[in-house]
């Protein structure tokens, strides 16, 4: 796939994976629409993207605001004609005491951003993609969505929901020219995972992870899970009986 002049609508662009991905796509000549709440960071990133040979537009918005996300997508389409790729990446870990103690409002916040925010982004681009009979929807889900993880009830639920949502959408749109790619990373060093006291298994450097994201999009993979060691364990753990799952995964302390 040639990234040159591909128009990408990227949510969660202001830090971590989104920021690194935006820069990598811009270096390859893409047009990147950068959506997140922190406008100052997006402006700095847009300047870097333009210096690297791409084009970038700052689209400051909150993914939980469906109208604002729709307007951002429209602004990108109005200027560049069409959006080729949506990367629904905005997300929070929700690893604060409130989420762990199952404060319903804190859980709702994680679900609203991670799952319903991605739904808002899909709704903002899908009708035009279907009309054009082309486009790609990309979900940045997580290995945390395969099965419930300890101290991660809200996050695991949001990512399981995200994976299921995008897979369902794929069944409905793939015959109509729109492809769906669900990316399920393990642990990557970003602000989301920083500050955790305990070891995260197979933690990846951010820069090392970017080729995996790019390849999954370029090859229009239906699913891409990495790193392979953790992805293999998580796939296996899916068929563990509950006693074995509790005895192994239940003891994990990576969220502390």
Active site residues: 155
Q: Which stretch binds ligand NAP (CB under 6 A): 9-17, 48-56, 165-173, 245-253?
A: 9-17
Nearer to ligand NAP, 132 or 189 (CB): 189
Residues 19-38 touching ligand NAP, rule: CB under 6 A, are 36-38
Q: DSSP per residue over the chain, as a string? A: ---TT-EEEEES-SSHHHHHHHHHHHHTT-EEEEEES-HHHHHHHHHHHHHTT-EEEEEE--TT-HHHHHHHHHHHHHHHS---EEEE-------SHHHHTT-HHHHHHHHIIIIIHHHHHHHHHHHHHHHHT-EEEEEE--GGGSS--TT-HHHHHHHHHHHHHHHHHHHHHGGGTEEEEEEEE--B-STTTTT--SPPTTPBPHHHHHHHHHHHHHTT-SEEEESHHHHHHHHHHTTS-HHHHHHHGGG--TT-
Nearest-approach distance from CB 130 to ligand NAP, in angstroms: 24
The whole-angstrom distance between residue 5's C-alpha and the CA centroid of its chain comes to 22
Q: Does 64 bind ligand NAP (CB under 6 A)?
A: yes
Stretch that binds ligand NAP, among 76-84, 96-104, 169-177, 185-193 (CB under 6 A): 185-193
Residue from the set 177, 191, 201, 211 that interacts with ligand NAP by CB under 6 A: 191
Residues recorded for the chain: 256
Contact window for ligand NAP (CB under 6 A) among 8-16, 49-57, 100-108, 229-237: 8-16
β-pair type (135-140, 178-185): parallel
End-to-end CA distance of the chain: give it in Å, rounded: 40
Q: How far is the CB of 81 from ligand NAP (least distance, A)?
A: 25
Task: Looking at residues 123 to 152 of the shown chain, list those that interact with ligand NAP (rule: CB under 6 A).
Answer: 140, 142
Binding mask 90-119 for ligand NAP (x = CB under 6 A): xxx--------------------xx--x--
Q: How far is the CB of 120 from ligand NAP (least distance, A)?
A: 9
Minimum Å distance from CB 127 to ligand NAP? 21
Residue 8 as a binder of ligand NAP (CB under 6 A): the answer is no
The nearest distance, CB 27 to ligand NAP, in angstroms, is 18
Specify the stretch interacting with ligand NAP by CB under 6 A; choose among 7-15, 120-128, 129-137, 228-236: 7-15
Partnered with residue 138 across adjacent β-strands are: 87, 181
- List contacts with ligand NAP (CB under 6 A): 11-18, 36-38, 62-64, 89-92, 113-114, 117, 140, 142, 185, 187-188, 190-193
């Amino acid at each position: 796939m040639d990234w040159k002049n591909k128009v990408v609508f990227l949510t969660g662009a202001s830090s971590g994976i989104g920021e690194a991905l935006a820069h990598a796509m811009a270096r390859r000549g893409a047009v990147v629409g950068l959506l997140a709440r922190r406008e100052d960071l997006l402006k700095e990133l847009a300047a870097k993207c333009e210096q690297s040979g791409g084009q970038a537009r700052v689209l400051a918005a909150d993914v939980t605001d469906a109208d604002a996300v729709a307007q951002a997508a429209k602004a990108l389409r109005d200027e560049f004609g069409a959006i080729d790729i949506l990367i629904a990446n905005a997300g929070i870990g929700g690893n604060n005491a409130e989420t762990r103690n199952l404060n319903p409002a804190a859980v709702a916040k994680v679900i609203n951003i991670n799952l319903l925010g991605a739904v808002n982004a899909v709704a903002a681009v899908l009708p035009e993609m279907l009309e054009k009979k082309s486009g790609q929807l990309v979900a940045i889900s997580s290995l945390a969505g395969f099965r419930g993880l300890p101290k991660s009830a809200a996050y695991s639920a949001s990512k399981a929901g995200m994976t299921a949502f995008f897979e369902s959408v794929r069944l409905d749109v793939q015959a109509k020219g729109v492809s769906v790619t669900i990316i399920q990373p393990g642990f990557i060093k970003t602000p989301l995972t920083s500050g955790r006291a305990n070891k995260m298994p197979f933690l990846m450097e951010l820069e090392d992870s970017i080729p995996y994201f790019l390849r999954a999009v370029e090859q229009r993979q239906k699913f891409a899970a990495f790193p392979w060691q953790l992805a293999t364990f998580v796939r296996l753990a899916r068929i563990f009986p509950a006693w074995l799952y509790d005895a192994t995964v239940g003891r994990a302390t990576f969220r502390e």
